[in-house]
Chains A and B, each alone.
Chain A
Amino acid sequence: MSAIEPPVQRLWWKQPLDRAELLWIVIALVWCLILFFMMPYWHLYGKQNLANEAYRESPDEYAKKTEAMVAKYKVREEGGDLKVPVVHPPAGGDAYLIARLWSWYPILELEAGKTYRLHLMSMDYLHGFSLQPENINIEVLPGYDHVITVTPTHPGAYGIVCNEYCGIGHSTMTNKLYVVK
């Protein structure tokens, strides 16, 4: 009978399948398997995979490492009175980025085609690392130093936007990232 009445055939689990249903189940199952295999496939052959590398870290320690990098590799300052350091870490090396209410620190300058270990960590709430216009989006947590091995492709001035809601100043949390030849 209809779906709002008890099934006529009491042993409903023995009821034969309709042909359209059977066909569709097979097709859908194959498609779901493809959906599954695409992920390990991309780990093997794709170039965009999120790192499994992360460490528990205290905000103080992380800030210290960042300051050490800034002291060593600062090339200039930007942002007028704010004097935000622009840092050019060595290719292949560690680049630290601090997320905090409500700014990113410092400004990184990377070389196109070179690979960096980009560290992301928050000092307080959750933040979102959103690199524009590349549109790479990564969650930034306090207490977890997330290391992403990244290779910038094209030179230019990129924007970093916070895309995890972090309170009233959320929209003000933007920064630059430079990629140079």
Chain B
Amino acid sequence: MAVNRMFRTCPTTGLVFHQPAEQLIKANAVAGVVFLLIGGILAIGVVLTRWPAVHLLPADRFYQVLTAHGLDMLIFWVIFFEIAVLYFCSSTLLKARLATPRMAWAAFGLMVLGALMNNYSVTRGDSSVMMTSYAPMGAHWTFYLGLILFAVGALVACFVFFGTLVVAKGERTYIGSVPLVTFGAITAAIIAVFTIASGAIILIPTLLWSVGLISHIDPLMYRTIWWAFGHSSQQINVAAHISVWYAIAAIVFGAKPLSERVSRSAFLLYILFLQLASAHHLLADPGLSSNWKIFNTSYAMYLAVLASMVHGLTVPGAIEVAQREKGYNQGLFEWLRKAPWGNPVFSGMFISLIGFGFLGGISGVMMGTEQLNLITHNTLYVPGHFHATVVIGTTLAFMALTYFLIPVLFRREIMFPAMAKWQPYVFGLGMAGVALFLMAAGTLGVPRRDWDITFAGNTFPYEFPGSAFLMLGLAGISGLIAIVGGAMYLLNTVGSVFLGRKIATPGFRHVRATEGVASAQKPVAQPSTVAAAITGHGGRIGAWGLVAPGTFSLAMVFLVSFVLYYFINWKYLATVWPLR
């Protein structure tokens, strides 16, 4: 059994890598980055066409490019990287061998095949149906088959992850419970299984329909089940990037959760209250009752919102405590001022957290309110919102993690450290502009997925106000800044991974782990020190009886913005035509 027992210990961090796991993490991360590159090139076409003054592409090309941008970014880039995160959180953090590496490679192969097949279908030109592919608008069968293959691959990868947890438990590679970050990854993987099942339920009949074996697909049923897949996959992203936040807080600051109980319960809420969160995509649809909509948005969503609000406090709170214990205990914000803002691992993570909460979170709750949805549904507000969640939130968190993984996993030096230092700011601020200006255009009624909002040549055109055009122009400029930020990331990661200076590893050797405990375990802490570590810092740090008063005040700022913005929108709603 020697083949499956190859481990190496990272001399810098002490992390233990199982060799097959290490290769799989690399392969999945690299595949993800390739799709980020493709999606990023397509973003140039999208953003320059939606900037009315430039209006780069013709209509058919624009819709084709937008379809591919959505799929390559939201599905292929994000999920490939998430699989890498799952393997890292199981095999590496638990110091366990990866279960069935062969299956994991098969999963990877299926995912690559599926992603390529789906991209091929979009290049054909007859499948510009957007990633949502709402029936009865149909795409070529390779569009659906590609997505199904990709999903099956991702499902197999989730089971490899679960298998690795079983291996770790069976071989007792860790003591007690799994680390919080692994716990978060487990949440993500459980949600993924539910998500992929919904995806199969809707995509398999649609595939059969596309080749003529089924005659009719009900459009409302399609939307309901599609969003059970489409929305819960966003929940995977949230669980995954919050795990990454916790991991980065631990890596950069040695931060420990304020309390394991709260953070873990918050992850559990994501699983428990996920079911029909798809409802908030259907708020403007006929044929569904208000009771159904309210129940499924609030039961299923607000408790997930609660969970995110909790993580939004506990992650920076943990950092604050760690910083204060290091001596940055002055005032409310010394801990934050003295944080390593030049380290992209930290700055990326922190911008991700702030952007996700303030821009993505608040706008998402507003739109997801049954009646408020009327004034935002299908406008540019929607892409504005999710570029804050899935780009500033998920993508930027993954980018930050990459800067940690390049030296640790790939054993290469970052090629352009100065560029790395600036990249999270360029990308984060550019994307914040995209999110804000798209939301502003949406508030003015500008539709999403629309090639030409001047409606030139239409018999009955509608003229949007000049401010809408201004917002689209600003979104265009911000988009270019974000694309530059994305290019900085890609250049640096690809350059470092393939051409970067190798980091010498003195005394590097592959440790052959015996059956049982993989590597030397640290002794469990003594109960007395444990108690001190938990119940508090004996009033030594913080203020107002709180260990993290700075984070708490930031949370209050967040709450006030949230409340104000939420009620402003009710006020706006109250001015539109009465309807019932």
Closest 8 A/B residue pairs (Cβ): A159-B462, A146-B286, A163-B447, A54-B286, A2-B250, A12-B260, A47-B578, A137-B377
User: Which parts of A158-177 form the interface with B (CB within 8 Å)?
Assistant: 159-168, 170-172, 174-176
B286–A141 contact, CB under 8 A? yes
A-binding segment of B4-12, B337-345, B364-372 = B364-372
Q: Flag B453-488 by CB within 8 Å of A: 1 or 0 each.
A: 101011111111100000000000000000000000
Instruction: Tell yes or no: A75 within 8 A of B by CB.
Output: no
A1 & B256 in contact (Cβ 8 Å cutoff): yes
A79 to B195, CA, bound (A): 48
State the Cβ distance, B374 to closest chain A Cβ, in Å: 6
Which residues of chain A are near B377, meaning CB under 8 Å?
Answer: 128, 137-139, 163
A66 at the interface (CB under 8 A from B): no
In the complex, the answer to whether A21 meets B579 with C-beta atoms within 8 Å is: no
Docked-complex contact A170 and B450, CB < 8 angstroms? yes
Does any Cβ of A come within 8 Å of B435's Cβ?
no
Say whether, besides A3-B255, A38-B369, A31 and B563 are in contact (CB < 8 Å): yes
A113 to B332, CA, bound (A): 55
Question: Taking the nearest CB of chain A, how far is it from the CB of B139, in angstroms?
Answer: 12
- Which chain A residue lies CB-closest to B527? A9
Given contacts A142-B219, A144-B286, A176-B460, 5 further A-B contacts (CB under 8 A): A2-B254, A4-B93, A20-B548, A137-B375, A171-B458
Instruction: List A residues 1-48 near B (Cβ within 8 Å).
Output: 1-10, 12-21, 23-25, 27-29, 31-33, 35-36, 38-40, 42-43, 46-48
Minimum CB distance partner of B546 in chain A: A20
Q: Which residues of B have CB within 8 Å of A13? A: 260-261, 264
Q: Is B77 an interface residue (CB 8 A)?
A: no
| Contact across chains for B374 and A138 when beta carbons are under 8 A apart | yes
| Complex: A167 Cα to B138 Cα, angstroms | 10
List A contacts of B294 (CB < 8 A). Answer: 36, 39-40
How far is it, in angstroms, between the C-alpha of A151 and the C-alpha of B579 when the chains are bound?
Answer: 6
Residue A73 lies at the interface, judged by CB distance under 8 Å to chain B: no
Residue from A14, A18, A54, A82 within 8 A of B547 (CB atoms): A18
* 28 sampled A-B residue pairs with Cβ under 8 A: A3-B179, A3-B318, A4-B93, A5-B179, A7-B180, A9-B260, A9-B530, A10-B175, A15-B534, A17-B259, A21-B258, A25-B262, A31-B559, A39-B371, A49-B370, A49-B371, A49-B580, A82-B459, A84-B459, A128-B377, A130-B447, A135-B379, A135-B443, A137-B374, A139-B377, A141-B287, A165-B448, A174-B455
Is B533 positioned at the interface, with any CB of A under 8 Å from its CB?
yes
**A19 and B445: CB pair below 8 A?**
no
Say which residue of A3, A135, A153, A166 sits within 8 Å of B137 (CB atoms). A166
Distance between B373 CB and nearest chain A CB, rounded to angstroms? 8
Verify if B190 is at the interface (C-beta below 8 Å from A).
Answer: no
Cβ–Cβ contact B247 & A134, under 8 A: no
Q: Are A15's CB and B259's CB within 8 A?
A: yes
Contacts of B378 in A (CB 8 A): 128, 130, 137, 139, 163-164
Closest residue of chain A to B459 (Cβ to Cβ) is A79
Say whether, besides A6-B176, A80-B459, A142-B136, A170 and B93 are in contact (CB < 8 Å).
Answer: no
Query: Which of B259, B369, B533 has most A Cβ within 10 Å?
Result: B259
Contact between chains at B130 and A165 (CB < 8 Å): yes
Query: A12 to chain B: which residues have CB within 8 Å?
Result: 177, 260-261, 264
**Minimum C-beta distance from A39 to chain B (A):** 5
A72-112 interface code vs B (CB 8 A; 1 in, 0 out): 00000011101010000000000000000000000100000
- Measured in the bound complex, the distance between the Cα atoms of B427 and A125 in whole Å is 37
> Which of B128, B262, B448 has the most CB atoms of chain A within a 10 A radius of its CB?
B262
Cβ of A152: which chain B residues have Cβ within 8 Å of it?
A: 577
Chain B residues within 8 Å of A24, by CB: 309-310, 313, 552, 555
Q: Are B577 and A151 interface neighbours, CB within 8 A? A: yes
Q: Is the CB of B460 within 8 A of A139?
A: no
For A84, list chain B residues within 8 Å (CB).
459-460
- CB–CB A172/B547 < 8 A: no
User: Taking the complex as formed, is B422 at the interface, i.e. its CB lies under 8 A from any CB of chain A?
Assistant: no
Known: A3-B247, A23-B552, A36-B298. A48 touches B579 (CB 8 A): yes
Contact present for B302 and A35 (CB under 8 Å): yes
Known: A7-B177, A141-B286, A166-B137. A27 touches B559 (CB 8 A): yes
A171→B291 CA distance, assembly (Å): 34
A175 to B192, CA, bound (A): 42
Question: B564 interface residue, CB < 8 Å from A?
Answer: no
Is the Cβ of A3 less than 8 Å from the Cβ of B257?
Answer: yes
Residues of B within 8 A of A163 (CB): 377-379, 447-448, 450
B410 at the interface (CB under 8 A from A): no
Q: Which residues from B are CB-within-8-Å of A68?
A: none
* Partner among B251, B262, B445, B455 whose Cβ is within 8 Å of the Cβ of A171: B455
Report B128 CB to chain A, min CB distance, Å. 8
